[in-house]
Structure 1
Amino acid sequence: MPNATVVTPELLRITQQAIESALQYATAVANEYLSGHENVIGVATWHGQAGSTSLATAGQINHDLQQTVAGGQRLAHGLGRAAALMENHEADASHGFTGLFTGAR
């Protein structure tokens, strides 16, 4: 397979860090948007049903994003755990092979 991707513990950790960084950025953007939106709604010209609906929609979007961020954090954590398990498995296998071939002499 010429275009196969080799999954290594390092690749998993790089991916974990990229996900965590993207989640932090998304959270910052969403918080900034929500804060700005609340400030706009606070202006006297935005009172009434339209303002309330707009604010409720922004709150729902923020809530949905927080759920997505929580899922992304679980994914990133799982990738980190998978990397550690891969390394432990490789160390155990290496130790097993060393013992097998050292004992044959």
Structure 2
Amino acid sequence: MDERKRESIVAYLRRRMAEFGIEPDDIAASLAADAAQLRAARYRDAAGHTWDGKGDAPQWVVQATSAGQSLEHFAVRETIEPQPAKPQSVDWRLDPFAGSRLATVRTEHTGAA
């Protein structure tokens, strides 16, 4: 993202925050609460619904277990793999289309100049 676009987005967000009376501390508190909720979650489904395992099971857990899915399938794993600092390079030797017509066909783009 270029610097002008970033500054434009920041200015827009600041105007909207002022319009609704939102302070930076409010955002920080909200992010911290969200992070705490995610840390407290013991079970999570693919849609992002979470449950801490306390109290009555939410509807998504009831439906999944009624359908035969194991509750352990939804267990949140504590080990999170760190993201690599540098994106891995692509090994083009593993390209399934290498040497085929799909790898060599060029498409022409038409458009007004």
Q: Relative CO higher for 1 or 2, CA cutoff 8 Å, sep ≥ 6? A: 1
Q: Whose helix fraction is larger, Structure 1's or Structure 2's?
A: 1
- TM score, norm. by length of structure 1: 0.24
